[in-house]
Amino acid sequence: MVQPPIHVGMTGISKTYDGHSFVVRNLNLEIAKGEFLTLLGPSGSGKTTTLMMLAGFEYPSSGEITLDGRPIQDKPPEKRNIGMVFQNYALFPHMTVAENVGYSLRVRGLSKEQIGARVSEALAMVQLSSLAQRKPAALSGGQQQRVALARALVFEPSLVLMDEPLGALDKKLREDLQLEIRRIADRLDLTVVYVTHDQHEALTMSDRVAIFSDGCIQQIGSAQDIYGCPANRFVAEFVGDNNCLDAKVISIEGELVRARLPGGQEVRARGSAHSKVDQRATIAIRPESIRISGQARAATLRGQVCDIIYCGDQFRIHVELPGGERLIAKSSSSLGVRMEMGSPVLLDWEPHDAWALDGR
Amino acid sequence: MSRRVYSEFPAYIRIPLYAFVGIALLLLMLPLAVALPISINADPWFTYPFRAISLRWFTQLFSSPLWTGAMVNSLVIAVSTTVVATILGTLAAIGLVNPRFPFRAAVMALAISPMIVPVVVLGLGLFIFFSPLGLNYSYAGVVIAHTILASPFVVITVTATLTRFDFNLMRAAAGLGAGRVTAFRTVMLPIIAPGVAAGAIFAFASSFDEVVMVLFIAGPQQRTVPKQMFTGLREQLDPTILAAAAVMILLTSCLMAVAYNANRKR
């Protein structure tokens, strides 16, 4: 398979405002041409700062940023030719939709005819041709976001940055626009760096997701990698629901490990290359992977029901283990109805669905 | 936020409130209402009632080279001051709204201090400062002096407008390929224009009726309308002064009305 060429490179990037606390710490990132990369993380994790350094609105304290192999960190934003979509749209309120979209072309000194043709093409792409003469204030949030998208794409940048572009929209509209942005990015073969704190958005839209925390990338990979194979406890807890249990590895059986919980019960999970006997580990297991039953089987864990929450399509059953830890299991059947608070239950899972992560 | 309508207040609050506002406004208008009509008194006396009404003081105002020269001077100085003060004040305001501006509060206080410092002190200081520079008795000197007094009005109005300005728009413009000057001209200036215009009108008005600085700095060549009125008061008191005052008030009121309308249209 031919690797697509590297489009954006960030090497050893750090950002600090005061010299000792780092917003971004020694970041290394390579983005392939045509890739849709999402930076996902809680607020203050450094994902927006990373995006702003790519756009040129923040300057890295150290490190190098390259675009198509050429360093760009000393170039001002207006010379980078990068499209940007802002969270609050940042449309020019005194200009019409068409003037907003055509702004980049006017600044570049294109002729009126060229501008007109490309603006109407861009507006057709986001299905807003009929609103070209409106002012932004007369548009809905979703329409404003489409204008911002058309404005960021009309000058044909090869790299487009999006800073939580759908954050202010309601759920239905957000899902529609997610699909639309992805469709346009694929059609124009754009490289997109997309910042969000919404994990569903990240998992559904991206080729790769980079999980940010404390100014570092905790894990980078496809949505399946991130969700199914978390690299550490932070990723396990941040992406999707995960039960995380402190445990100690007692034996290694091929790619599985056997670990003991503080309450004395033993569980099995997939280990990593670094797993060692007697090491502390975090056992991560997703609620939907836990089987819960009332009768004895080759069960692995015993516990007591301490809460049953009805969520429409399923029950979420909170189980307390003898060591005091709590697990959440999902049950879609009517099983939840038959269970009662305080009743003893047995839990088990396929060992391959659980992960023994290094450290705690 | 729902706005309370005054007619919703109970009468025992509403009536005293209206009365108080009415008296306050009356106090502002009364001196004008007493003085201005004298400009159409046919006799050269400052007394009521009039024996006859005439426009002779206005005719005199516009035919005397002393007064027309003063009016031209006033306009030239006020327009120059407005241009310089508006540019300087707007630039200062843009710098001062940036939270990373070093010693921001101190610089802001310094920038608007001419509104607080007694003008006589400033005028005397400038007079001494200007002597070795040869700026006393020159148009440039008067314009500089008036710019010092007028800039704070621009700084204040433009700062107020900029606090509502979304600086992401400047980032958006830069991202779309606009350099700083282009972005300022095409994005920031059109949006903050009402604030800049209001500041410019205040600057014009503050220069147009300024007398203390002019008494210190201006020579006979730079005699402005307020200075002419001031000398007139001492030397030959006649209602031409009030005709000049009426013209000045009319002019500044027109400017205010224009600014008000321009702001309302947005």
What pLDDT, on a 0 to 100 scale, did the predictor assign at position A333? 65
First vs last C-alpha separation in chain B: 21
Across the range A129-143, mean pLDDT stands at 92
Q: What is the pLDDT of residue B71?
A: 92
C-beta of residue A289 within 8 angstroms of C-beta of residue A353: yes
For chain A, domain boundaries: 6-233, 241-358
pLDDT (mean) for B156-180: 93
> To the nearest whole percent, how much of chain B has pLDDT over 90?
61
Least reliable range by pLDDT among A25-39, A104-118, A291-305:
A291-305
Q: Quickly state the pLDDT bin for A354 (edges 50, 70, 90).
A: confident
The mean per-residue pLDDT over the stretch B157-182 comes to: 93
Exposed, middle or buried: residue A106 (CB in 10 Å: 0-12, 13-18, 19+)? middle
Across A21-30, A127-136, A268-277, least confident range:
A268-277
Residues A230 and A264: beta-carbon distance below 8 Å: no
Phi (first) and psi of residue A128, to 5 degrees: -125, 20
Chain A residue with the nearest C-alpha to that of B192 = A94
pLDDT at A281 > cutoff 90: no
Q: Is A96 on the interface with B (CB under 8 A)?
A: no
- The pLDDT of residue B220 is 86
Distance of CA B218 to the CA centre of its chain: 19
Contact across the interface for A155 and B172, Cβ inside 8 Å? no
Q: In B, which residues are within 8 Å of A54 by CB distance?
A: none
Candidate from A84-88, A124-128, A247-251, B223-227 with smallest mean pLDDT: A247-251
Q: How many residues can be counted in chain B?
A: 266
Q: What is the Cα–Cα distance from A131 to A135, expressed in whole angstroms?
A: 9
- pLDDT computed for residue B84 by the predictor: 97
Name the residue among A57, A76, A151 with its Cβ closest to that of B176: A151
In this structure, what are the phi and psi dihedrals at residue A350, rounded to the nearest 5 degrees? -65, 125
Q: Which CATH architecture fits A6-233?
A: 3-Layer(aba) Sandwich (3.40)
pLDDT in tens, B57-108: 999 889 989 899 999 999 999 999 999 999 999 999 999 998 889 999 999 9
- Among B164, B176, B180, B265, most A C-beta atoms within 10 A, so best to mutate, is B176
List Cβ neighbours of B113 (8 Å cut-off, separation of 6 or more): B152
Work out the mean pLDDT of chain A and round it to a whole number: 87
Q: What is the mean pLDDT of residues A324-350?
A: 76
Which residue type sits at A56? G
Q: Which of B171, B182, B183 minimises the CB distance to A57?
A: B171
| DSSP 8-state assignment for residue B145 | H
For chain B, the structural domain boundaries read 6-40, 71-265
pLDDT of B1 reads 46
Please state which of the ranges A346-360, B76-90, B105-119, B140-154 shows the lowest mean pLDDT.
Answer: A346-360
Rounded Cα gap, residues A38 and A208, in angstroms: 6
Is the CB of residue A317 less than 8 Å away from at least one CB of chain B?
no
Spatial distance between the Cα atoms of A142 and B92, rounded to a whole number of angstroms: 37
pLDDT for residue A351 is more than 90: no
Q: Hey, CA dihedral for A279, A282, A284, A290, is it positive or negative?
A: positive
Q: Confidence band (pLDDT; 50, 70, 90) for A349?
A: confident
Q: Kindly state whether A162 is in contact with chain B, defined as any CB-CB distance less than 8 angstroms.
A: no
Residue A359 has pLDDT above 90, yes or no: no
Tokens of A129: 């041709």
Nearest to A220, CA basis, from A32, A14, A15: A32
CB contacts, 8 Å: B172 with chain A: 84, 86, 90-92, 151
Are residues A155 and B177, on separate chains, in Cβ contact within 8 Å? yes
pLDDT recorded at residue A222 = 92
Which among A335-344, B75-84, B237-246 has the top mean pLDDT?
B75-84
B51 pLDDT band, cuts 50/70/90, is confident
Return the pLDDT at A339: 72
**What pLDDT is recorded for position A159?**
93
Cβ pair A90:B176 closer than 8 A: no
* Chain A residues touching B183 at Cβ < 8 A: 78
Three-state secondary-structure class, residue A48: helix
Residue range A241-358, CATH number: 2.40.50.140
User: The dihedral of CA A63, A68, A69, A75: what is its sign?
Assistant: negative
pLDDT of residue A248: 86
CA-based torsion, A183, A188, A189, A194: positive or negative: negative
pLDDT tens, residue by residue, A106-135 = 999 999 999 999 999 999 988 899 999 999
Q: Is the pLDDT of residue B266 over 60?
A: no
Q: Is the ipTM of this complex over 0.85?
A: no
Token pair of B227 as six digits: 């200075």
* Highest mean pLDDT, choosing among A241-250, A293-302, B256-265: A241-250
Q: How much is the mean pLDDT over chain B?
A: 90
In degrees to the nearest 10, what's the CA dihedral of A166, A171, A177, A179?
120
Contact B177 A84 (CB under 8 A): no
A90 in contact with B at a CB cutoff of 8 Å?
A: yes
Express each pLDDT in A4-19 by its tens digit. 788 899 999 999 988 8
The pLDDT-based confidence of B265 (bands split at 50, 70, 90) is: low
pLDDT tens-place string over residues A71-102: 998 899 999 999 999 988 999 999 999 999 99
Exposure of A20 in the CB half-sphere (CA atoms within 13 A): 0
Distance of CA B77 to the CA centre of its chain: 12
Q: How far apart are CA B206 and CA B196, in angstroms?
A: 15
Counting every residue, how long is chain A? 360
Return the minimum-mean-pLDDT range out of A41-45, A243-247, A292-296, B64-68.
A292-296
Test B177 with A93 for CB contact under 8 angstroms.
no
Asked whether residue B204 carries a pLDDT value surpassing 80, the answer given is yes
Fold of B71-265: MetI-like fold (1.10.3720)
Q: B179 contacts in A (CB within 8 Å)?
A: 76, 78
Tokens at A118, concatenated: 């490309």
Average pLDDT over residues B5-21: 87
Q: How big is chain A by its Cα radius of gyration, in Å? A: 25
Searching chain B, which residue's CA lies closest to the CA of residue A151? B176
Contact A72, A66 (CB under 8 A): yes
Q: A62: pLDDT confidence band, cut at 50, 70 and 90?
A: very high
CA distance A78 to chain B (A): 4
